[in-house]
Each structure stands twice: as C-alpha cells, then as structure tokens.
Amino acid sequence: MIGLRHTAPIDITHQAQQLGIALWDTIPEGATHILQWNTDRLELLSIHDKAIVCVDFVKGAAAHRRQFGGGRGQPVAKAIGIKGEYIPRILDATAGLGGDAYVLASLGCSMTLIERTPIAYLLLSDGLKRAAADGQTAEIAARMTLHFGDGRAWLTERAQGLGPLAAQEFDVVYLDPMFPEPGKRAKSKKSMAAFQTLIGGDEDADALLAPARLIAKKRIIVKRPRLAPLMAGARPDFVFDGESTRFDGYLPTGGIQKENN
C-alpha cells in the first residue's frame, strides 16, 4: 500500500490525486511505501528497509555519467545508432525513472517518454522539473518530454495516425520493460530493487514490439538482461551485447524506410 504524505507542494499533491494516489496525514497500518517531499524533491521511501528512490539528473551518478559516461561509445548510444550528424528522434515507451532517456538526451537526442505507473511518472516528472531549473542540465531536460499513459496504446494509436503523437515522427522506438523474473533482472542497488518490486514485472511487454515496428522509421531497440529470452520470441536483426545487458535491434515493418545507420 502506498500513499503521498500530505506535506508535499500543492502541484504535486494535485498531480498525485489525479493519478489516483492516496493522500496520507498519518501513515496507515499496512503501508509499504510513502511518497514524501524532502526539502526540494519528491522521494519514495520503502518502509520495510528504508530504501529511498528519487530522480536526480543534476547531482550524483547522473552528473558523473554526464562528464565521464563514454559519450557515443556507450552501448545504449551504439545500439540506438547515433553517428556523425545523425541524431535520432526517439520514443521511449517504457520510461521508468528516465535513466537511459537522460543519457540519450545528453547526447543530443530528442526524447518522447511514456510511463504508465503513477509512482514512476511522478518521480520522473519531479526529477525533470529540477533538471529544467538547473543551468547545467536545463538544455538536456528541454529535449525530454514526458507523458503519462500506456505505451502500447500510444504506439498503436500512432501507427493509425491518431492520438497525441499523431503529428510526430520517430526514428527509433526504445523499449526497456521490467523483466518479469527478479532472478534474471540485471543486478541493481538495494533502492532500485525496492522500486522494481513495487512496479512488478511487465508481463504484457511482448505486445509492445509489433506496434513499435510499425512506427519507428529506422530501428527498434529492446533492452534485456543479457541472458533473458527474446521479446515476443522475435529474432532480432542485430544485437549489441553488454556485460549484463543486451540490446536487441529490430528493423521496422512499416515498410517506410530501410535501415541505413
């Protein structure tokens, strides 16, 4: 059971209410997680092990990665196919806490993000607001647009030329759903493991691939734990292997443009 502590700023409280998140003055019995405002940020506290998750693109790991992260040489950038003047427009249909999207936006990609879990959406939108207000990260945050919704529905509508993304073109669709079996997920910190448990496995993830292949102009990239089975059992057209992660690449079936990156 999860709720927002009633001390958060009014805009966040309002957003949380619209997303159906409970508002708590006192923490009820049986609560497992609390969303709470801490000085200048929204964070998720796991009551059981006190692990905290928040999205911070300005300091800490994100700042380090911005400075020393390996630029276009890092596996996610290679998989996406950033090369020379070509900087793709990307639809990330499983945004999560926006880590991958931020890396790609910091390499110049324009990122449209969709997240369906209210908690992840709230944490990410709070992180993006702080990034937009900081001189070091404002330009990167300006390349990231977050929407609340179901990626499959948005992709399907877009494939029919309908919905909120009807007027947008995407070179790449990026998919990184939560892998259902915890034992096979990539290793993560205690705080992230608590977050993953809260979100659960995305059992319906296979359904994202077909509509993604209809709308991407160049490629679809699916991030998986290295030994995980293929999404929807579909054999990729190319693969980038990392240490614990694999990026499976698929070509579009929309028949609009051929792969050339």
Ligand X SMILES: C[S@@+](CC[C@H](N)C(=O)[O-])C[C@H]1O[C@@H](n2cnc3c(N)ncnc32)[C@H](O)[C@@H]1O
- Measured CA to CA, the distance from residue 216 to residue 236 in angstroms comes to 15
Q: Are 70 and 39 in contact (CB under 8 A)?
A: no
Binding range to ligand X, per CB under 6 A, among 23-31, 173-181, 226-234, 251-259 = 173-181
Binding range to ligand X, per CB under 6 A, among 7-15, 17-25, 66-74, 93-101 = 93-101
Residue among 88, 118, 151, 211 that touches ligand X (CB under 6 A): 151
Residue among 33, 130, 143, 152 that touches ligand X (CB under 6 A): 152
Closest CA to 165 of 153, 179, 174: 153
DSSP state, residue 122: H
Residue 76 CB, nearest approach to ligand X (Å): 9
Q: Are 124 and 44 in contact (CB under 8 A)?
A: no
Binding to ligand X by residue 114, rule CB under 6 A?
Answer: yes
Q: What is the SS3 assignment for 3-43?
A: EEECCCCHHHHHHHHHCCCEEECCCCCCCCEEEEEECCEEE
Binding to ligand X by residue 249, rule CB under 6 A?
Answer: no
Is 157 annotated among the ligand-binding residues? no
The three-point CA angle 177-210-19 to 5° equals 45
Residue among 19, 34, 192, 199 that touches ligand X (CB under 6 A): 199
Residue 134 or 149: which CB sits closer to ligand X?
149
* Binding positions for ligand X, rule: CB under 6 A: 93-94, 96-100, 114-117, 120, 150-152, 176-178, 199, 202, 205, 208
